[in-house]
Amino acid sequence: MSQESSKPDKTPLEVDLMHFDDDFVEFADYCSFMCDAFACLAMREDYLGGNTAGGIIRYSSRIKRRVEVLKEDLGKIYEKAYRIRKIG
């Protein structure tokens, strides 16, 4: 029996990362929906003043960009954990 076949399918770390990734993707979707909704409200002329509306739109875009960066970082962490498992 080779060492490769005796390794489990997923390590506990990989399982935790997969669950965290699933939760994060769901959270990112909620953030995106909320940011789009706020930005839509802010664009209505009769809803908010110009500075407040502009701030909401900018902040919503910033949150969405940050979530994308965090998604990429999480993917890199998962890849590292997979490589460590493959090497070890």
Domain membership of residue 2 (yes or no) is no
Domain membership of residue 44 (yes or no) is yes
Contact (CB, 8 A) for 69 and 61: no
Domain membership of residue 4 (yes or no) is no
Amino acid code (one letter) for 57 = I
61 to 31, 39, 42: CA distances (angstroms): 10, 9, 13
In this prediction, residue 69 carries a pLDDT of 92
Give, to the nearest 10 degrees, the angle between helix 50-87 and helix 12-43: 170
Classify residue 46 by its DSSP letter: T
Domain membership of residue 33 (yes or no) is yes
- What's the domain count of the chain? 1
Domain membership of residue 81 (yes or no) is yes
Please state the pTM of the whole predicted model. Answer: 0.65
Domain membership of residue 5 (yes or no) is no
In this prediction, residue 2 carries a pLDDT of 47
pLDDT in tens, the chain (88 residues): 445 555 567 778 778 888 888 899 999 999 989 888 888 877 776 766 777 778 888 888 898 899 999 989 988 888 888 787 776 6
Which residue range(s) make up the domain with 83?
10-87
In this prediction, residue 1 carries a pLDDT of 45
